[in-house]
Amino acid sequence: MKIHATDRNGKKHELEGRDGWTVMEILRDGGLDVSAECGGACACATCHVYVAAEWYDKLKPPSEAEIDMLDMALAVEPTSRLSCQLTCGPELDGLTVTVAPE
């Protein structure tokens, strides 16, 4: 499965997703600047991404914990998500995200 990601400098990347891995792990291992300080525990919002509008409604809705973390994040947009809360699977093949500003 492919994950299409744009980094903070506007450079586009096509990354190979791994079933069961989080999008955060794919971005981090792909060399994108995602600090993921909490390691994916939904406790810091340092893996904040913008999901392409055409993908947002295809994702499972954010949990209350994710919504709470996004409330504390900078530059939140209507399609903001924490990439640690998005688990790769066949249904996410082609997912397009942009890493949010720090």
pLDDT tens for the chain, 102 residues long, are 999 999 999 999 999 999 999 999 999 999 998 988 898 999 999 999 999 999 999 999 999 999 999 999 999 999 999 999 999 999 999 999 999 998
SS3 18: coil
Q: Which domains does the chain have, with CATH numbers?
A: 2-99 (3.10.20.30)
Q: What is the reported pTM? A: 0.94
What distance in Å separates the CA atoms of residue 57 and residue 52, rounded to the nearest whole number? 10
C-alpha separations of 54 from 4, 15, 57, 59 in Å: 13, 19, 7, 10
